[in-house]
Amino acid sequence: MNILITETLDPIAADWLAQRAQVVWCKHDDPGFTDALAQAEGLIVRTYTQVNDALLDQAPKLKVVGRAGVGLDNINVPACRKRNIEVVYTPDANTQAVVEYVLGLMLDHFRPRKDLPPSASAAHFHQMRKTEVGTQLDQLTLGILGFGRIGKKLGRVAHALGMSVHACDLLPEAELRKAVNYPFEFVDHDKLYATSDIVTIHIDGRPRNRHLVNREMLAKLKPNVLLINAARGMIVDAAALADWARNHPQAHAILDVHDPEPPEVKTYPLWDLPNVRLLPHLASRTDTALLNMSWVVRDVLDVLEGGTPQFPAEKLE
Protein backbone atom coordinates (compact mmCIF):
# COMPACT_ATOMS: atom_id res chain seq x y z
CA MET A 1 0.00 0.00 0.00
CA ASN A 2 1.37 3.36 -1.05
CA ILE A 3 0.41 6.27 1.22
CA LEU A 4 1.37 9.85 0.43
CA ILE A 5 1.79 12.35 3.28
CA THR A 6 1.93 16.03 2.34
CA GLU A 7 2.30 17.76 5.71
CA THR A 8 3.69 17.08 9.16
CA LEU A 9 2.61 14.23 11.41
CA ASP A 10 3.68 13.29 14.90
CA PRO A 11 6.68 10.93 14.63
CA ILE A 12 4.95 8.28 16.76
CA ALA A 13 2.01 7.97 14.39
CA ALA A 14 4.21 8.34 11.32
CA ASP A 15 6.52 5.54 12.47
CA TRP A 16 3.51 3.34 13.25
CA LEU A 17 2.26 3.77 9.70
CA ALA A 18 5.69 3.28 8.13
CA GLN A 19 5.91 -0.16 9.74
CA ARG A 20 2.70 -1.20 7.98
CA ALA A 21 2.70 0.54 4.61
CA GLN A 22 4.94 2.22 2.07
CA VAL A 23 5.00 5.89 3.04
CA VAL A 24 6.02 8.70 0.71
CA TRP A 25 6.52 12.24 2.05
CA CYS A 26 6.03 15.03 -0.47
CA LYS A 27 4.67 18.55 0.00
CA HIS A 28 1.75 19.59 -2.19
CA ASP A 29 3.85 22.31 -3.81
CA ASP A 30 6.91 20.11 -4.40
CA PRO A 31 7.90 19.48 -8.06
CA GLY A 32 7.58 15.74 -7.50
CA PHE A 33 4.09 15.89 -6.04
CA THR A 34 2.23 14.99 -9.25
CA ASP A 35 4.26 11.82 -9.75
CA ALA A 36 3.87 10.79 -6.12
CA LEU A 37 0.13 11.46 -6.23
CA ALA A 38 -0.30 9.29 -9.31
CA GLN A 39 0.90 6.25 -7.35
CA ALA A 40 -0.87 6.96 -4.06
CA GLU A 41 -3.61 4.70 -2.73
CA GLY A 42 -3.88 6.75 0.44
CA LEU A 43 -3.39 10.48 0.98
CA ILE A 44 -2.87 12.17 4.35
CA VAL A 45 -3.10 15.96 4.61
CA ARG A 46 -3.45 18.62 7.27
CA THR A 47 -4.39 22.24 6.55
CA TYR A 48 -2.75 23.58 3.44
CA THR A 49 -3.24 20.78 0.89
CA GLN A 50 -6.42 21.44 -1.11
CA VAL A 51 -8.08 18.14 -2.02
CA ASN A 52 -10.24 19.22 -4.94
CA ASP A 53 -11.19 17.99 -8.41
CA ALA A 54 -7.89 19.15 -9.88
CA LEU A 55 -5.90 17.12 -7.35
CA LEU A 56 -8.17 14.08 -7.51
CA ASP A 57 -7.95 13.97 -11.31
CA GLN A 58 -4.24 13.25 -10.86
CA ALA A 59 -4.80 10.41 -8.36
CA PRO A 60 -6.27 7.44 -10.27
CA LYS A 61 -5.33 4.90 -7.59
CA LEU A 62 -6.55 6.87 -4.61
CA LYS A 63 -8.92 5.04 -2.23
CA VAL A 64 -8.86 7.15 0.94
CA VAL A 65 -8.06 10.69 2.04
CA GLY A 66 -7.23 11.30 5.68
CA ARG A 67 -7.26 14.76 7.25
CA ALA A 68 -5.16 15.02 10.38
CA GLY A 69 -7.50 17.57 11.90
CA VAL A 70 -10.99 18.40 13.04
CA GLY A 71 -12.64 20.04 10.03
CA LEU A 72 -12.79 19.15 6.36
CA ASP A 73 -12.71 22.66 4.91
CA ASN A 74 -9.83 21.88 2.55
CA ILE A 75 -11.34 18.61 1.30
CA ASN A 76 -14.06 18.45 -1.34
CA VAL A 77 -15.92 15.51 0.15
CA PRO A 78 -18.53 15.24 -2.68
CA ALA A 79 -15.73 15.12 -5.24
CA CYS A 80 -14.13 12.28 -3.30
CA ARG A 81 -17.46 10.45 -2.99
CA LYS A 82 -18.01 10.75 -6.72
CA ARG A 83 -14.79 8.81 -7.22
CA ASN A 84 -15.55 6.26 -4.46
CA ILE A 85 -12.78 7.68 -2.30
CA GLU A 86 -13.34 7.45 1.45
CA VAL A 87 -12.64 10.50 3.60
CA VAL A 88 -11.61 10.18 7.27
CA TYR A 89 -10.57 12.70 9.89
CA THR A 90 -10.08 13.22 13.66
CA PRO A 91 -13.13 15.15 14.93
CA ASP A 92 -12.36 15.13 18.66
CA ALA A 93 -8.58 15.38 18.52
CA ASN A 94 -8.11 18.94 19.73
CA THR A 95 -11.22 19.67 21.80
CA GLN A 96 -9.36 19.92 25.10
CA ALA A 97 -6.56 21.96 23.57
CA VAL A 98 -8.91 24.55 22.08
CA VAL A 99 -11.00 24.82 25.25
CA GLU A 100 -7.89 25.47 27.34
CA TYR A 101 -6.64 27.99 24.79
CA VAL A 102 -9.87 29.99 24.67
CA LEU A 103 -10.07 29.99 28.45
CA GLY A 104 -6.51 31.32 28.54
CA LEU A 105 -7.43 34.10 26.11
CA MET A 106 -10.35 35.14 28.31
CA LEU A 107 -8.10 35.20 31.37
CA ASP A 108 -5.41 37.12 29.49
CA HIS A 109 -7.96 39.78 28.71
CA PHE A 110 -9.90 40.06 31.96
CA ARG A 111 -7.14 39.10 34.42
CA PRO A 112 -3.94 40.51 32.89
CA ARG A 113 -0.78 39.57 34.72
CA LYS A 114 2.18 41.93 34.41
CA ASP A 115 5.55 40.93 35.78
CA LEU A 116 7.14 43.07 38.48
CA PRO A 117 10.23 44.75 36.97
CA PRO A 118 13.49 44.00 38.83
CA SER A 119 14.11 47.71 39.31
CA ALA A 120 10.62 48.48 40.63
CA SER A 121 10.52 50.84 43.53
CA ALA A 122 8.13 50.49 46.42
CA ALA A 123 5.96 53.16 44.83
CA HIS A 124 5.93 51.25 41.53
CA PHE A 125 4.98 48.06 43.36
CA HIS A 126 2.00 49.68 45.05
CA GLN A 127 1.01 51.52 41.88
CA MET A 128 0.79 48.24 39.99
CA ARG A 129 -1.45 46.82 42.71
CA LYS A 130 -3.78 49.79 42.26
CA THR A 131 -3.90 49.80 38.47
CA GLU A 132 -3.74 46.09 37.57
CA VAL A 133 -7.30 45.32 38.62
CA GLY A 134 -9.16 42.72 36.60
CA THR A 135 -12.70 41.41 36.20
CA GLN A 136 -13.80 38.03 37.54
CA LEU A 137 -15.16 35.68 34.91
CA ASP A 138 -18.07 34.75 37.16
CA GLN A 139 -19.42 38.26 36.63
CA LEU A 140 -19.67 37.73 32.87
CA THR A 141 -21.90 36.07 30.31
CA LEU A 142 -20.20 33.83 27.77
CA GLY A 143 -21.91 33.55 24.40
CA ILE A 144 -20.90 30.40 22.50
CA LEU A 145 -21.65 30.52 18.79
CA GLY A 146 -21.57 26.88 17.73
CA PHE A 147 -22.37 24.31 20.39
CA GLY A 148 -20.52 21.28 19.06
CA ARG A 149 -17.81 19.31 20.82
CA ILE A 150 -15.67 22.33 21.63
CA GLY A 151 -18.58 24.63 22.43
CA LYS A 152 -20.16 22.14 24.83
CA LYS A 153 -16.92 21.49 26.70
CA LEU A 154 -16.11 25.18 26.90
CA GLY A 155 -19.59 25.78 28.29
CA ARG A 156 -18.98 23.18 30.99
CA VAL A 157 -15.76 24.89 32.05
CA ALA A 158 -17.39 28.32 31.99
CA HIS A 159 -20.28 27.11 34.12
CA ALA A 160 -17.85 25.56 36.61
CA LEU A 161 -16.22 28.99 36.93
CA GLY A 162 -19.59 30.58 37.63
CA MET A 163 -20.18 32.22 34.26
CA SER A 164 -23.60 32.49 32.66
CA VAL A 165 -23.60 30.48 29.42
CA HIS A 166 -25.60 31.42 26.34
CA ALA A 167 -25.47 29.05 23.37
CA CYS A 168 -26.57 29.35 19.75
CA ASP A 169 -26.51 26.44 17.33
CA LEU A 170 -28.24 24.97 14.27
CA LEU A 171 -29.32 21.91 16.23
CA PRO A 172 -32.58 21.94 18.21
CA GLU A 173 -32.39 22.97 21.85
CA ALA A 174 -33.76 19.63 23.08
CA GLU A 175 -31.00 17.72 21.32
CA LEU A 176 -28.31 19.95 22.77
CA ARG A 177 -29.66 19.64 26.31
CA LYS A 178 -29.44 15.85 26.09
CA ALA A 179 -25.70 16.18 25.51
CA VAL A 180 -24.79 18.37 28.51
CA ASN A 181 -25.38 18.20 32.25
CA TYR A 182 -25.10 21.90 33.17
CA PRO A 183 -27.51 24.82 32.74
CA PHE A 184 -27.28 27.11 29.74
CA GLU A 185 -29.62 29.47 27.94
CA PHE A 186 -30.39 28.55 24.35
CA VAL A 187 -30.70 31.79 22.37
CA ASP A 188 -30.88 33.03 18.80
CA HIS A 189 -28.09 35.01 17.15
CA ASP A 190 -29.46 38.43 18.03
CA LYS A 191 -29.86 37.66 21.73
CA LEU A 192 -26.43 36.05 21.90
CA TYR A 193 -24.84 39.18 20.48
CA ALA A 194 -26.85 41.58 22.63
CA THR A 195 -26.36 39.82 25.97
CA SER A 196 -22.84 38.34 25.90
CA ASP A 197 -19.80 39.97 27.44
CA ILE A 198 -17.67 37.47 25.53
CA VAL A 199 -18.63 35.96 22.18
CA THR A 200 -16.51 32.97 21.19
CA ILE A 201 -16.94 31.34 17.78
CA HIS A 202 -16.86 27.57 17.26
CA ILE A 203 -18.76 26.99 14.00
CA ASP A 204 -17.65 25.00 10.97
CA GLY A 205 -16.46 26.14 7.57
CA ARG A 206 -19.59 25.56 5.52
CA PRO A 207 -19.97 28.19 2.77
CA ARG A 208 -22.87 30.00 4.40
CA ASN A 209 -20.70 30.75 7.44
CA ARG A 210 -18.32 32.84 5.36
CA HIS A 211 -18.25 36.39 6.75
CA LEU A 212 -20.88 35.59 9.36
CA VAL A 213 -18.99 38.16 11.40
CA ASN A 214 -19.89 41.15 9.23
CA ARG A 215 -20.97 44.74 9.72
CA GLU A 216 -24.54 43.80 10.55
CA MET A 217 -23.51 41.23 13.15
CA LEU A 218 -20.87 43.47 14.72
CA ALA A 219 -23.39 46.29 15.16
CA LYS A 220 -25.41 44.03 17.48
CA LEU A 221 -22.59 43.36 19.93
CA LYS A 222 -22.16 45.02 23.31
CA PRO A 223 -19.93 48.12 23.09
CA ASN A 224 -17.32 46.57 25.42
CA VAL A 225 -17.53 42.96 24.18
CA LEU A 226 -14.61 40.58 23.77
CA LEU A 227 -14.92 38.69 20.47
CA ILE A 228 -12.82 35.53 20.07
CA ASN A 229 -12.41 33.52 16.88
CA ALA A 230 -10.42 30.30 17.21
CA ALA A 231 -12.49 28.46 14.60
CA ARG A 232 -11.92 29.51 10.97
CA GLY A 233 -10.59 32.68 9.41
CA MET A 234 -13.21 32.82 6.67
CA ILE A 235 -15.92 33.46 9.26
CA VAL A 236 -14.69 37.03 9.79
CA ASP A 237 -14.99 39.91 7.33
CA ALA A 238 -11.65 41.46 8.22
CA ALA A 239 -12.44 44.87 6.71
CA ALA A 240 -15.70 45.11 8.63
CA LEU A 241 -13.98 44.05 11.86
CA ALA A 242 -11.26 46.66 11.36
CA ASP A 243 -13.82 49.45 10.98
CA TRP A 244 -15.75 48.18 14.00
CA ALA A 245 -12.61 48.06 16.12
CA ARG A 246 -11.71 51.65 15.23
CA ASN A 247 -15.22 52.85 16.02
CA HIS A 248 -15.54 50.84 19.26
CA PRO A 249 -12.33 51.39 21.25
CA GLN A 250 -13.83 49.77 24.36
CA ALA A 251 -14.46 46.51 22.47
CA HIS A 252 -11.78 43.94 21.74
CA ALA A 253 -11.24 41.06 19.32
CA ILE A 254 -8.80 38.17 19.51
CA LEU A 255 -8.27 36.22 16.29
CA ASP A 256 -6.31 32.98 16.24
CA VAL A 257 -7.29 32.18 12.64
CA HIS A 258 -7.17 34.30 9.51
CA ASP A 259 -8.15 34.40 5.85
CA PRO A 260 -5.74 33.85 4.21
CA GLU A 261 -3.11 32.20 6.37
CA PRO A 262 -0.69 33.62 7.00
CA PRO A 263 -2.37 37.03 6.73
CA GLU A 264 -0.95 39.37 4.12
CA VAL A 265 1.57 41.80 5.60
CA LYS A 266 0.54 44.74 3.41
CA THR A 267 -3.18 44.17 2.84
CA TYR A 268 -4.60 42.56 5.99
CA PRO A 269 -6.60 45.39 7.59
CA LEU A 270 -6.29 44.22 11.18
CA TRP A 271 -2.62 44.96 11.81
CA ASP A 272 -1.71 47.55 14.43
CA LEU A 273 -5.16 48.02 15.90
CA PRO A 274 -4.77 48.45 19.67
CA ASN A 275 -7.94 46.52 20.49
CA VAL A 276 -7.36 43.61 18.07
CA ARG A 277 -4.99 40.82 19.02
CA LEU A 278 -3.71 38.55 16.24
CA LEU A 279 -2.30 35.09 16.96
CA PRO A 280 -0.70 32.53 14.60
CA HIS A 281 -3.29 29.69 14.69
CA LEU A 282 -2.12 28.14 17.94
CA ALA A 283 -5.33 26.80 19.52
CA SER A 284 -4.69 23.16 18.68
CA ARG A 285 -0.93 23.27 19.11
CA THR A 286 -0.33 20.92 22.04
CA ASP A 287 1.70 17.74 21.95
CA THR A 288 -1.36 15.67 22.79
CA ALA A 289 -3.65 17.27 20.22
CA LEU A 290 -1.05 16.99 17.46
CA LEU A 291 -0.59 13.31 18.23
CA ASN A 292 -4.36 12.76 18.36
CA MET A 293 -4.76 14.33 14.93
CA SER A 294 -1.89 12.29 13.53
CA TRP A 295 -3.63 9.05 14.49
CA VAL A 296 -5.81 9.52 11.41
CA VAL A 297 -3.26 7.08 10.01
CA ARG A 298 -5.20 4.26 11.70
CA ASP A 299 -8.39 4.98 9.77
CA VAL A 300 -6.47 5.43 6.53
CA LEU A 301 -4.89 2.01 6.95
CA ASP A 302 -8.21 0.44 7.99
CA VAL A 303 -9.83 1.61 4.77
CA LEU A 304 -6.97 0.32 2.62
CA GLU A 305 -7.19 -3.05 4.39
CA GLY A 306 -10.93 -3.27 3.73
CA GLY A 307 -12.07 -2.34 7.23
CA THR A 308 -14.53 0.21 8.58
CA PRO A 309 -13.02 3.51 9.72
CA GLN A 310 -13.91 4.96 13.11
CA PHE A 311 -14.32 8.53 11.88
CA PRO A 312 -15.59 8.75 8.30
CA ALA A 313 -16.68 12.12 6.96
CA GLU A 314 -20.38 11.20 7.35
CA LYS A 315 -20.00 11.74 11.09
CA LEU A 316 -19.42 15.46 10.71
CA GLU A 317 -21.59 17.37 13.20
d(CA 148, CA 144): 10
Active site residue 46: no
The amino acid at 274 = P
What is the helix (H) or strand (E) element at residue 218, kind and residue range? helix 215-218
d(CA 155, CA 217): 22
Which residue is catalytic, options 46, 149, 232, 258?
A: 232
User: For residues 184 and 207, is the Cβ–Cβ distance under 8 A?
Assistant: no
d(CA 277, CA 108): 11
Q: Starting at the edge strand that comes first in sequence, how are the strands of the sheet with 64-67 ordered?
A: 22-25, 2-5, 42-45, 64-67, 86-88
Q: Give all strands (DSSP E) within 17-80, no chain letters.
A: 22-25, 42-45, 64-67
Which residue is catalytic, options 132, 175, 216, 261?
A: 261
Burial class (CB in 10 A: 0-12, 13-18, 19+), 163: buried
Active site residue 281: yes
Active site residue 261: yes
| 3-state helix vs strand vs coil in the chain, percent to 5 | 40, 15, 45
Q: How many CB atoms lie within 10 A of CB 287?
A: 9
Which residue is catalytic, options 156, 159, 277, 281?
A: 281
Taking every pair of C-alpha atoms in the chain, what is the biggest distance, in angstroms? Answer: 73
Task: Enumerate the active-site residues.
Answer: 232, 261, 281
